[in-house]
Structure 1
Amino acid sequence: MSPAPESKQDRRPPYQHAADELRREILQGRIKPGEQLPAIRELQERFRVANMTMRSALNVLRDEGLIYTIHGRGSFVADHDGGGEFSANYNAPAWYLSNRGDKPSRAEQAEGRPDDEAASATLTEMLTALRDEIRALSADHQELRREVEELKAAQQAKQ
């Protein structure tokens, strides 16, 4: 028999490995809040994984609240406290663990709750929608800043 290799092979699924690496970069500040992640094709090449595998990794980070995605724009790092214990404190939402795999409807969420709890759920949904809108505006702002910098650089190059 041949001896076992010195370093054990990483047994995590490829999507989890990619998610862990990106999470580490975000929490260590190498990718800062508001900054756009590389395009999914670049990430696929970097981690040598398929498109759906990379999307699964991004879904993990999105479910954890580390990133958010704007359709047609890309994925961006969300604001976070910068603590390194984020993943240790993470609990998957109940809907993620359910057999159906989809989020419960508003009616299902409010079913059997007193009125104040239903109102609280509605308020939470409104706050979440506002947070997402602010993030989208922040991403637009970042894009405009990049365009201004490019225009300034082009103007300086002409002079």
Structure 2
Amino acid sequence: MTLLVIGALVFAGCTPTTEPTSSPTASVSQPSATPTPTATSAVLVPDGTAADNLPLFTEVMNAVAATDASVQGRAYIDALVTAGFPKDAMEVTQDLTTVGNAADSIQFSVRWAGECLVGQVGPSVAVPTALVLPLTPTGTCLVGQTRAIDW
């Protein structure tokens, strides 16, 4: 469902629009070849739920995913901290496999109000994905080995 919504939003954002004019020749605006930066519309809701903060988490994730650092876990953590999420509530998986190859995907998360904001990006992920998920029974958001956030 989330992927369908994201796909619909991406498709809608790329659709040319027709501007109404009073002249007999209507002009059609074409999408630009390079995306234009937009102001942040989502805000951190400190007393809100994970669902309340999912829009900002998603916006930050998408902004980083559109850069050259798109498969670097630290870039997501740093951007989420800049957006106001607490670093001590975050987890991130390794950028590299055990043999030194780039990971097919990375995951990162923020524990928030008893739930988890979880993002996943990488070459094996069709589009960056962000979800609200429950905490694991051990109180973490990600399953398996994560890397230390020690910077």
| TM over 0.5, shorter chain | no
Task: Identify the structure with bigger relative contact order (alpha carbons < 8 Å, sequence gap 6+).
Answer: 1
How high is the TM-score relative to the length of structure 1? 0.29
